[in-house]
Amino acid sequence: MKGYVYYSLTESVRNYAFIEDLIEKAEHIGIELRLIVDNDQPSADADFILFRDRNPEKAALFERLGFRVFNRSEVNRIANDKLQSFELAALLGVPSVPTKKLNSAEDVKSYPAVLKTADGHGGDEVYLSTSMKETESFITRFKNRNLIAQPYIESNATDVRVFVIGKEVVGAVKRTGNDSFKSNYTLGGSVEKYVLSSWQEKEVVRIARALKSDYIGIDFLILPDGRWILNEIEDPVGARSLYTTYDFSIAEKLMGYIKEQTTNYFTVVKSVI
C-alpha cells in the first residue's frame, strides 16, 4: 500500500517529528508513506493522501483526482470555519459558545467579548476586547477576513481537547492557560489527561458521525459548574499535548485506521466494478 502525507512547506518543518513518526509507523504495517508539500504532485498509483493542511480547495482537488483523502475536503471546510462549526453544533443539539458574525463594532452588544477570525487556529487571531474602540481596531486589522464575536465565558482558561479517530475517542487532554484566557498548549499552557464521562463521549461521537471525519480534535470549554460547551473543531489537529500525556503513538493508531479504511474502500470499489 502506498500513500502520501500532505503539508504546507512551513507546517512540514514545524511538524517534522510527527511526520517522522507517521512514516515509521506506516512502514511497520506495510505502508509506503511519503511527504509531499505545497505544489508537489502525488503519483497516480498512490492509494490515499493524509491531508494535514487548512485548505479545503486543495483537499477537494485531490479528491477529484481520485484519491481517498483523510480527512475529506468537507470536514476540512467546516472545521476551518468557526461559524459553520457552531451551526453544525446547533443542528446536532450540542451546547456551544454563542457566536455571531462580526461585521461592525455595533454587532458586539456587551463587553468583554472574544473576537476571532473564522479560520484562525492554535490560539492565534483570538482577542479579548473590552471596548468598542478595541473591536474597531480588530476589525480594521483583519478587514479582509471573516470574523466572529462571542461573549466572554469564564472557564478559568481551561478547556478539553478530545482526539477522535473515525468514531472512536482515543484520548482527551485538559488544557489550562498560563497568564492568558487562552488555554492552548503551544502558547505555554499546561496539560493533563482527562477522562470523559459517558454523556461527554456521546456528544463527541455525535459530532464525528455527522462530519464523517477520520481524525479530528474537538475543543470544549469547561465551565465552573462542570458543564462543557463546544469551542472549536480542529482539522488538522495537533497532537503535542496527547504525546505529552499518553504513552501511545497517535501516529500508530492513525495509520492502522487508514490502512483498514483504505482496504475497505478499494474492496467496495472493486465490487462495484
In Å, how far from its chain's centre is CA 94?
17
Closest alpha carbon to 255 in 60, 87, 4, 46: 4
What is the DSSP track for 219-253?
Answer: EEEEPTTS-EEEEEEESSPP-HHHHHH-SS-HHHH
The grid cell for 248 is 501511545
Domains of the chain: 100-151 (3.30.1490.20)
H/E segment holding residue 33: strand 32-37
Looking at residue 44, what is its pLDDT?
A: 94
Neighbour count for residue 225 (Cβ, 10 Å): 5
Q: Assign residue 10 a region (left: φ > 0; alpha: ψ between -120 and 50; beta: otherwise).
A: alpha
H/E segment holding residue 102: none
The grid cell for 238 is 495537533
Instruction: Give 26-31 contacts, CB < 8 A, sequence gap 24+.
Output: 26/255, 28/252, 29/255, 29/256, 29/259, 30/1, 30/259, 31/1, 31/2, 31/3, 31/255, 31/258, 31/259
Question: pLDDT per position in the chain (273 positions), as tens?
Answer: 999 999 999 999 999 999 999 999 999 999 999 999 999 999 999 999 999 999 999 999 999 999 999 999 999 999 999 999 999 999 999 999 999 999 999 999 999 999 999 988 767 789 999 999 999 999 999 999 999 999 999 888 889 999 999 999 999 999 987 655 554 545 557 899 999 999 999 999 999 999 999 999 999 998 888 889 999 999 999 999 999 999 999 999 999 999 999 998 656 554 545
